[in-house]
Structure 1
Amino acid sequence: MIVAFHPLGVRQDGAEWIVGRVDSGDFVVVPEEGMRAIRLLQDGLSVDQVRARLLTEAGADLDVADFVADLSEAGLVAEIDGRPVASPPPLRPTFPRLEPRHLRWALHPALHLALLAPICAGIACLIARPAVFPDLQTALWTGHGALVLLSWTVLAWLTTGLHELAHLVTARAAGVPARMSLGTRLQFLVAQTDVSGVWAAPTRVRVTVYLSGIALDLAICGAALTWTYVAGPHPLAAWIILIQLARVAYQLLVFTRTDLYFLLQDLTGCRNLYGDGRAYMLALTRGRRGTLNGLPPRERAAVRCYALLQAAGTLACLALAALVMLPLLGTLIAQAAQHLLHADDPLAMAEALVVLVLVVAPELLWLRTWWRGHGRRVRAWLTSRGWRAWCPWRPRTREEPGRAGSP
């Protein structure tokens, strides 16, 4: 049996190897013997020849056929004996005409030093004159709340696009076909860039990709602070500073898989910090222990600490949504609807309509995005025994007979 692989990215990680497809973001972790088997298979040896070679070289009797089956399931095998193997398609990148040769500058250390200039200048201006930090009076540049909300929304989305573009450009410079999209993190609607293929890149490149968005945010904020120091307060500069600092503050919520989460995962040497932490907490709530026994010792302490942070942070965010955000949204919607229905002034009605759209549209977009990511699992759960267990009063139909004792 002759095996042909998709183009693979490879990186050594301690005593193991990270192997995967940069074009689709599918990666696996294999031991040294597994990496040797992959290289022999890439050289054209058959499965039986590879097994015999490994037995001769290292005395390891590896079931190469089973190993190849696992690699096929992971989507890394392209053909077996000339027959194509079903595997995930390559990621469709955003802005496909941007090629790595056009963007090598994004990984150059000189650019990183250049971004430090506005950051340091902004810090110096803030220290020299703390009043350059915007106050509420400067930010609320007009008495028309709809215009303030509209300007904030437009500016927030523009700067968010620049943040994600920084991830995309640095990833593309490393040869990774990054893709931008919308996603949800708890109650937050977020823009995200899939850079999974960067796992095979060197440490410096991975860290650059993870931190590129934050670095750009801080550089823009520093430039706005310097602008305020030189030219005086301005509403545009005030909003830029507040929006950029809020975005950087959000990155500290590592339990929602922010940019800093991926940096933390990389620095701790964990492969799936979020998933392992979640599984660990769920097992503890069900009274099961030993769920971390399959992890390397260096990862166990990191997963335990992260799981506690994950649980506490998730509960805090959900409590904030229930106690603050939902009542606030309800109040804004009710007030805007009341003004829209009862206002006599056309300008006031238009302003109420703008507020209503700007408040409701993001929530509808969040619902749509959340359902696209979780709807299939929700439908599967509703048609499974999990729904009947949670809702025992639901009547059974002929298509759903009761099966006592079935697993």
Structure 2
Amino acid sequence: MVITKHSNISLYPLRINQDKKYFIVEDILTGEFFEMPGICIEAITMINEGQPLYLIEEILKDRYPNEEVDMQNFAGDLLELGLVKSLDGKTFPKEVEKKSGGLEWIPANVGHFFFNRYSSIFYSLVFLVSIILFALKPDLFPVYDDVFLFDLMIYNILVFLSLSFIFVVVHELGHVLAIRAENLPTKIELGHRLFFIVLETDMSRVWSLQPEKRNRLYLAGMNFDVVVMFIALIVQILFVNHFIVVGIAKMVVISTFIRIIYQFCVYMKTDMYYVLENWSGCHNLMESGQMFLKRWIPFLPTSGNSTTFNGEEKLVRPYALFYLFGVMITVTIAIFYNFPLIIHAGILVLPGFLEPASSIYFWDATVFFLQFILMFGLLAYSWSKKYREKQTRQPM
């Protein structure tokens, strides 16, 4: 359909919030968000006031003499984004999927109990005390063989995986409660980061909040992790003579400690990545950082094309350093925890395959290797799910 400077346009209901440098435009019907500069917001405001495109263009050219203003192209962009309700008398119906309310059954006041104006101070103090405990009692610091509490690997696997799953859920519960404290809907889904299976809380509605409120939601999971780790450290101190209790507490510490450290691997869009993105106001930080690093690392995979706005280049460079630092963290964790743990476990269970099928050690070894098949199966499911979602978003 041809758009002229005399076209009459009406838009679907929009909610506009000012971000650090630009504006976040929310399509109220679909819940989708778009980042736009101030000139676009002024144009949308005048469209909603019923002013013709040619007049809007004249006003904006006068206000922004250094900007290229073309209201016909802008109206076309709004049409492609599905924000135009009618154009020259033709209505563009919008198919809106009816979405469930997520976890709205959780009362907002429950979220407020854990996340309020004082909670950040509490979580910071807990984190500081945990660091002091590590410094005063180095034996509390997690090592890879903390996972080997029992003689049979099947027991170690079941206990460690169960504890890890429980406290991953606790991590996501932190995000959920922080989101519900803002009275926003959310849900928890299965996903992946690189080769790691993860649970993910839907944070899409966070964009409806002011930038200064978002970090509380992004850090909520880590705050719960810190509390869990602190409690496990105290348990080790108080129950020093109880072997099983201390052993389970050590498992909790190593699982939680590694999960916290991984949050600083910002190349995987972890919670800390979104804190950096929110702080910088650059919402293509990863993509821009990858494109910047690709000048020196040609084989570096990229997440897609990126547009860097004026002034964002100075933010991309330090992020690129954080990106590389995150890669170094991943390698370090692999060297000191993941590889030694897997190798040590493999050495312990491999002789079990030489035992008869009636032996508990044979099944101990079998279960140990079956867990890798399960992990790779979940990873394949997560990758295929993400691929299908990507395909459905591509234009036909």
TM-score, L = length of structure 2: 0.76
SS in 2 for 1:20: strand
From 373, 382, 390, the equivalent of 2:386 is 373
From 271, 275, 278, the equivalent of 1:263 is 275
Cα contact 1:184–1:366 (8 A) shared by 2? yes
Q: CA deviation at 1:334?
A: 11
From 302, 325, 329, the equivalent of 2:315 is 302
164-173 or 109-118: which moved more? 109-118
Match of 2:368 in 1: 355
User: Where do 1:245-264 residues align within 5 Å?
Assistant: 245-264=257-276
Cα contact 2:19–2:210 (8 A) shared by 1? no
Match of 1:52 in 2: 55
Return closer, same or farther for 1:27/1:108 CA change in 2, 3 Å cut-off: same
Q: CA deviation at 1:106?
A: 4.4
Match of 1:140 in 2: 148
The amino acid across from 1:37 in the alignment is: A
SS in 2 for 1:182: strand
Q: CA deviation at 1:347?
A: 2.4
From 28, 31, 48, the equivalent of 2:34 is 28
99-108 or 210-219: which moved more? 99-108
CA distance in 2, matches of 1:59, 1:25: 33
Return closer, same or farther for 1:84/1:343 CA change in 2, 3 Å cut-off: farther
Q: CA deviation at 1:366?
A: 0.5
SS in 1 for 2:103: coil
SS in 1 for 2:219: helix
Q: CA deviation at 1:212?
A: 0.9
The amino acid across from 2:32 in the alignment is: D
Match of 2:205 in 1: 197
The amino acid across from 1:39 in the alignment is: T
Cα contact 2:104–2:184 (8 A) shared by 1? no
Q: Identity of paired residues, percent? A: 21
114-123 or 259-268: which moved more? 114-123
From 17, 29, 33, the equivalent of 2:23 is 17
The amino acid across from 2:18 in the alignment is: R
Return closer, same or farther for 1:77/1:10 CA change in 2, 3 Å cut-off: farther
Answering whether residue 8 of structure 2 is matched by residue 5 of structure 1, we say no
Answering whether residue 190 of structure 2 is matched by residue 182 of structure 1, we say yes
What is the CA RMSD across the aligned residues, in angstroms?
4.2
From 347, 356, 365, the equivalent of 1:343 is 356
Total equivalences in the alignment: 371
295-304 or 83-92: which moved more? 83-92
Q: CA deviation at 1:145?
A: 1.1
Structure 1 unaligned runs (5+)? Answer: 287-291, 380-407
From 129, 134, 139, the equivalent of 2:137 is 129
Return closer, same or farther for 1:176/1:85 CA change in 2, 3 Å cut-off: farther
Match of 1:71 in 2: 78
Answering whether residue 287 of structure 2 is matched by residue 275 of structure 1, we say yes
- Over residues 133-179 of structure 1, what are the superposed CA-to-partner deviations in whole Å (9 max), with x where a residue is unaligned? 45667653211111011111111111111111211221233244333
Return closer, same or farther for 1:76/1:269 CA change in 2, 3 Å cut-off: same
Match of 1:224 in 2: 232
- Over residues 319-364 of structure 1, what are the superposed CA-to-partner deviations in whole Å (9 max), with x where a residue is unaligned? 9989x97999799789968846852434234323432332220111
Q: CA deviation at 1:85?
A: 3.9
Q: CA deviation at 1:11?
A: 1.7
